[in-house]
Structure 1
Amino acid sequence: MSLYTIIGAQLAFGHVALLDHADFSLEAGERVGLIGRNGAGKSSLLKIVADLTKPDDGLVTRQQHLTTVYVPQEPEFDTDISVFDAVAAGLSEARALLDEYDEVAHRLADVPEGAEHDALLARMNTLQSSLDSIDAWNWRNRVETTLEQIGLDGDARVSALSGGMKKRVALARALVVQPDVLLLDEPTNHLDFEGIRWLEDLLVSQRAGLFFITHDRAFLDRVATRIVDLDRGRLLSYPGNFSAYQTRKAQQLEVERVENDKFDKLLAQEEVWIRKGVEARRTRSVGRIARLVQMRNERADRRNVQGNVKLDVGQGEKSGKIVAELTDVTKRYGARTVIDEFTATVMRGDKIGFVGPNGAGKTTLLKLILGELTPDDGTVRIGTNLQVAYFDQMRAQLDLDKSVADTISPGSDWVEVNGTRKHVMSYLGDFLFAPERARSPVQSLSGGERNRLLLARLFARPANVLVLDEPTNDLDIPTLELLEELLTDYDGTVLLVSHDRAFLDNVVTSVIASEGEGKWREYVGGFTDWQVQRDRSAQIARDALKQPAKEAAQESAQKDSATGRNAQRAAKLSFKEQRELEALPVQIAALEAEQKTIGAQLEDGSIFAKDASEGTRLTERYGAIDGELLTAMERWDELESRRK
């Protein structure tokens, strides 16, 4: 039986239908990712499920005694309290019942037998039953256990926490309730890579039903067992993760396009027929005329695919070959060294991603490269003819009182992009701003709309260096994919800070990563390449630490040996290692075949509809095979090199 069901839901703001006879259900143990365009109504649907708002029409049913907890995009706390108290606030209902129970118990001791005594006793029994059902007696232990699970210090003050740690507190406050359904709106906001990976592991291990909104495609692939697409007011369900959804969605849109083309062709033929006039007035044509009227109505009611943002960046003149050259650059803030003796050269056309924990110094490093900050030590040589366009994640460049149109082209109705003059309304239309929206003040825009406006402003200016600080926040997936294409084809230099792993993989050609304690290092490739190289470097470092002990053991063996033959044998493979080396290619081939088979099952997506737990197991196994393959290949390389 479904935990939660919506049938025929309708919801509109003004003339815009966010939900149009939409149906939705959530089964126990499911992890459903909700996607859709900015402004499509995703957060509104999540609030309906959370029972924070009601649809205009439709039937909503839920299981009896269902516990649902909602975590908004920007959780709010009393900043003067401790983390323990903030998490314990999730059990406020249980604690209120406990307080009432204590009060009734005290009153009961002072009231003589009689009607009042009996009423208090009945109330006490009712309270005890309620407290037992929600396990409220152990509320303090539940809070402490949850704090340990999430990795939080209960004594810390909420006011001293970073955005990422506050997000953890919000999740802890929700999980301490032990909900049946967990609702998350953009849960990865404010989290760095380690935080996102931690959250993925946490959610995959939870038994609660999960319904969440995110634009992080890698997160959807790792966590979701089903994708629900809010598309033009309807909810379309796709079993499997995001990769499976992409395949099925493309097939569905192609079928829809073919069917619409056939319908439009037939309608055009009928319109030609009706205009002939004489034949249409005959009695035997009445049915055909009625069908034409029906076809016209169906065509009017058709929900056409929404347009995509049209991105085109203004190309400036070419910069010098070298954009920036940093030599032994060091930057400190007080006693803390943020950048420690970093050396790198940024060439024209490079697309560099900056990755590291929140607060590691990514923005500081960007400003050093652009010459906006002076290093404490070392030298920075800035290239010639740089035209820099900057995208600010805090949206500080936006004047909230200005209209959208004035933000793009102050005092003019025209904007010039790549030498082509366009009316500002037409240009804003490329970024999905309707004319009435273009005249609205910036403060009336949603987070996603403000990001689109920043992109419109950024791309209207000629530039040969694009600096993008978290450009993917609040952008819907189609806009993200178009932005990826634009940046990939862009001839200039791109400096990108992002926590979107898929975006980094698809755009950047190298990664400059924080190694901790102010150390930074450049890696060739995207985010996944950086992870592989980082893990290999860490393994090499661990092996290097073990090497002195290994050499000492070998030296001891040589001294104890009567001849040098034993030492020679020690350097070669033992019989067991020789057998292991012979077996490794077969093992590697078997792992690759297993991963290919699982990949085909996951891509099909039907496994999640048949058995959600089996789908989850296969998803986890698919990821585990990567690690086993890497270990097997490294072992084969080690044994092969020793055999030579």
Structure 2
Amino acid sequence: MSSPLPPAPVRAAHVRASGVHLSFGGRPVLAGVDLAAAAGDRVAVVGENGRGKTTLLRVLAGHLPVDRGEVRRAGSVGVADQQLLLGAGDTVGALVDLELTAVRGALARLAEAADALADGAPGADDAYAAALAEAEALDAWDADRRVEVSLAALNAVDDRARPLGTLSVGQRHRVRLACLLGAGHPVLLLDEPTNHLDAAGLDHLTERLRAHPGVVVLVSHDRALLTDVATSVVDLDPSSDGRPRYCGGGYPAYVEARRAERARWEALHAEQVAERQRLADDLAAARNRLRDNWRPAKGHGRHTRATRAPGLVRAVHRRQEELTAHVVAVPPPPSRFAMPELPGPGGATLLRAAGVGVAGRLARPVDLALDAGDRLVVTGPNGAGKSTLLTVLAGDLAPDAGTVTRGRSVRVGRLAQESDSPGRRTAVELYEERLARSGVPGPGLGELGLLDGYDGRRPVAELSVGARRRLDLALVLAVRPHVLLLDEPTNHLSAALVDELTDALGSTPAAVVIATHDRQLSRDTGSWPRLAL
């Protein structure tokens, strides 16, 4: 949604947040965040799901007040968040007009100022100069053409009369992103803009962001985009001292710095925990000596017992004081993703598709066979039928042509591209129900390292988009599938989790099929066979 703030020259665009604190329901979401960006800066905001990345963008846009701290910005702001305000009955044209509100307003004010100047109205010269500067800052005359270029490059619907309700979620988001790229806002705040883009769309987005003369603040799981675009990184993940981290060397430098800091953090925490355990063991040993070993051998007198006891008591007190004084000052590092052990029975084909097709959605017949340990990446532009194929393989959609056969007792797990509608049940309740229904033993939700205890106990409707995506992954893994079908698995997941998930997928004995446009994931799975649709 476009901000009503008046435009400013691109060279004057800036965004600054100082000491920002924000809590929801008494739970801190942002704590001491500092961010500064001027024209030409492209700041990546990263962190695990639920750490406040989307919240920070809303704060920078002026949509959320802060509890403490200060936020300043100059220049009109274009915001691409993960929600669309318009309804199914609105049209593509209405969405374009909404996102070009600042452009339409600037041209209207320029026309009014020109009329006033022609009429010789007092102060008309200054008003016209201000209106002209506003329109020039947005390059307002060329905005519609830029939108059309981006609509074509992003493979987005350009029929202005088309109702939004007839478009997929991905199509609606591509239309809105094209509008923002064409609107000329000096400040762009983008939340997961690569979702629903194919290779051509990703290339266009990268080119436009690199060429943007103003400010870009970007939240994205797309590691390739962050590498190609970001000039600096703000990391909202918990750190050893509890404060967000800033890295000014671009994304590759940030990744290296994060890896080194994580290693130091883990080593210091382990060292302090080990020292505490040593002190606890010393105290236990001293207590045992006081209880059992201070008594002299039979036949020794009362005097010997009396002189030995005080020394042992003092030793116990001293060790107790040492243990009490020892504080584990370094908090435990965040948990890592732990892939459950998936089955990989050999000797028989797990799943086979023969001549599979779906009218209007998967036109080209597909043949494939999956054995335990097989890997496959499904590629193709938007609309080629990648999601449809995975839905058919999972048994959730009957093909119009061809057949799909599965081995006896073969379990298939499919991660859909979008989450189901959230409800009021908690993540733990849904996971445990799925586990019980599967009839196979599996790890508890907390053991996967995907959701912390707080999110696990909250109603799913209250979770962030990223946290719901983590829950979706957990629900798929709960059945311990023999075949794992993953549709855009990196969507809404943090870069760190994606790295951990990628490593786990490479080593699991289950068969794995991935449909993705994620360029870094495609590179990381470069040795896997490809199926191009």
Give TM-score, length-normalised by structure 1: 0.63
| Equivalence for 2:6 | none
Task: State the 1:40 CA deviation.
Answer: 0.7
Residue identity matched to 1:511:
R
What residue is the counterpart of 2:349 in the other structure?
Answer: 322
User: Is the contact between residue 35 and residue 213 of structure 1 (CA under 8 Å) also seen in structure 2?
Assistant: yes
Alignment of 1:214-253 (within 5 A): 214-232=220-238, 234-253=243-262
Task: Show the counterpart of 2:106.
Answer: 94
Alpha-carbon spacing, 1:432–1:353, altered in 2? closer, same or farther (3 Å): closer
What are the superposed Cα offsets for residues 583-629 of structure 1, whole Å, 9 maximum, x if unpaired?
A: xxxxxxxxxxxxxxxxxxxxxxxxxxxxxxxxxxxxxxxxxxxxxxx
Larger fraction in helix:
1
2-side partners of 1:492 and 1:483: how far apart?
14
Distance 1:182 1:267, change over 3 A: same
How far the C-alpha of 1:131 sits from its partner, in A, is: 0.7
Partner SS state of residue 22, structure 1: strand
Match of 2:427 among 404, 426, 429: 404
Amino acid corresponding to residue 52 of structure 1 in structure 2? H
Which of 40, 57, 60 aligns to 1:29? It is 40
Q: Does 1:358 align with 2:370?
A: no
Is the 8 Å Cα contact of residues 77 and 86 (structure 1) preserved in structure 2? no
The answer on 1:338 being equivalent to 2:349 is: no
**1:375 to 1:100, Cα distance in 2 relative to 1, 3 A:** same
Alpha-carbon separation, structure 1, partners of 2:216 and 2:149: 18
Structure showing greater Rg: 1
The CA deviation at 1:84 is: 5.5
Structure 2 SS opposite 1:142: helix
Shift in alpha-carbon separation, 1:76–1:313, aligned structure 2, 3 A: farther
Aligned partners of 1:71 and 1:171 also within 8 Å? yes
Alignment of 1:408-447 (within 5 A): 408-410=431-433, 419=441, 426-428=444-446, 430-435=448-453, 437-447=455-465
Kindly indicate whether the alpha-carbon contact (under 8 Å) linking 2:486 and 2:513 is maintained by their aligned counterparts in 1: yes
1:613 counterpart residue number? none
SS at match of 2:497: helix
Aligned to 1:85: 97
- In structure 2, give the amino acid aligned to 1:403: T
Deviation at 1:482, TM superposition (A): 2.5
Write the letter of the residue equivalent to 2:161.
Answer: R
C-alpha distance after superposition, 1:344-400 (max 9, x if no partner): 33333212121222221123323444566555555655444422122223333x772
1:392 to 409, 416, 441: 416
Give the aligned residue type for 2:369: T
1:17-56, Cα deviation, whole Å (9 max, x unpaired): 3333232221331222111011111112222222222332
Name the counterpart of 1:510: 529
Partner Cα separation in structure 1 for residue 428 and residue 331 of structure 2: 28
Matches of 2:434 and 2:396, distance apart in 1: 29
Q: Deviations over 1:211-249 (max 9, x none)?
A: 100011122122222222112253312234433322221
Task: Give the distance between the partners of 1:461 and 1:345, measured in 2 at CA.
Answer: 21
Match of 1:174 among 166, 176, 180: 180
Query: 1:187 is aligned with what amino acid?
Result: P
Distance 1:457 1:411 in 2: 7
Aligned partners of 2:16 and 2:35 also within 8 Å:
yes
SS in 2 for 1:231: coil
Separation of aligned partners in 2, 1:368 and 1:430: 28
State the match for 1:469 in structure 2.
487
Deviations 1:472-524 (A, max 9, x none): 2222223222222322222121222223232344357212112xxxxxxxxxx
Structure 2 partner of 1:76: 85
Q: Where does 1:263-278 land on structure 2 (aligned, <5 Å)?
A: none
2:318 is matched with which residue? none
RMSD over aligned Cα atoms? 4.0
Counterpart amino acid of residue 336 in structure 2: N
Aligned to 1:145: 145
Change (3 A) 1:346 1:211: same
The residue identity in structure 2 corresponding to 1:306 is P
Q: Aligned in 2, Cα 1:494/1:460: closer, same or farther, shift over 3 Å?
A: same
Question: Residue in 2 aligned with 1:603?
Answer: none
Number of the residue aligned with 2:205: 199
2:289 aligns with none
Task: Say whether the 8 Å CA contact 2:107–2:140 is kept in structure 1.
Answer: no
Mapped to 2, the partners of 1:195 and 1:51 lie a distance apart of 29
CA contact (8 A) 1:87 1:172 kept: no
Residue 628 (structure 1) aligns with: none
Match of 2:65 in 1: 54
> For residues 7 and 267 of structure 1, do their structure 2 counterparts lie closer, same or farther at Cα, with a shift above 3 Å needed?
farther
Contact 1:319 1:386 in 2 (8 A): no
Aligned AA (1:356): G
Please tell me whether the aligned partners of residues 35 and 230 of structure 1 are also in contact (alpha carbons under 8 angstroms): yes
Task: Work out whether residues 361 and 384 of structure 2, in 8 Å CA contact, stay in contact via their aligned partners in 1.
Answer: no
Q: Which amino acid aligns with 1:74?
A: Q
Match of 1:132 in 2: 132
When residues 60 and 143 of structure 1 are mapped into structure 2, their CA distance, relative to the original with a 3 A threshold, is closer
Secondary structure of 1:76's counterpart equals coil
Counterpart CA distance in 2 for 1:319 and 1:103 is 80
Say if 2:151 and 2:175, in contact at 8 Å, map to a contact too.
no
Distance 1:261 1:369 in 2: 45
* Distance of 1:505 and 1:351 partners within structure 2: 14
Structure number with greater CO (CA < 8 Å, separation at least 6) is: 2
| Whole-angstrom distance in 1 between the partners of 2:413 and 2:189 | 37
Matched, 1:157 2:171: no
Instruction: Give the deviation of 1:415 after TM superposition.
Output: 9.5
- The 5-angstrom pairing of residues 183-198 of structure 1 reads 183-198=189-204
Instruction: Return closer, same or farther for 1:439/1:58 CA change in 2, 3 Å cut-off.
Output: closer
Match of 2:337 among 303, 309, 331: 309
Q: Distance in 2 between matches of 1:14 and 1:348?
A: 47
Q: Secondary structure at the match of 2:195?
A: coil
Q: CA 1:473–1:270 in 2, change beyond 3 Å: closer, same or farther?
A: same
Compute the displacement of 1:184 (Å).
0.7
Amino acid at match of 1:213: V
In structure 2, what is the Cα distance between the partners aligned to 1:469 and 1:183? 26
The one-letter amino acid paired with 2:262 is: L
Helix, strand or coil for the counterpart of 2:500?
Answer: helix
8 Å Cα contact 1:47-1:53 kept in structure 2: yes
| Cα distance in 1 for residues equivalent to 2:480 and 2:138 | 62
Equivalents in 1 of 2:130, 2:190: separation in Å?
A: 27
CA distance 1:502–1:101, shift in 2 (3 Å)? same
2:8 match: none
Q: Secondary structure at the match of 1:242?
A: helix
- The more displaced of 163-172 and 221-230 is 163-172
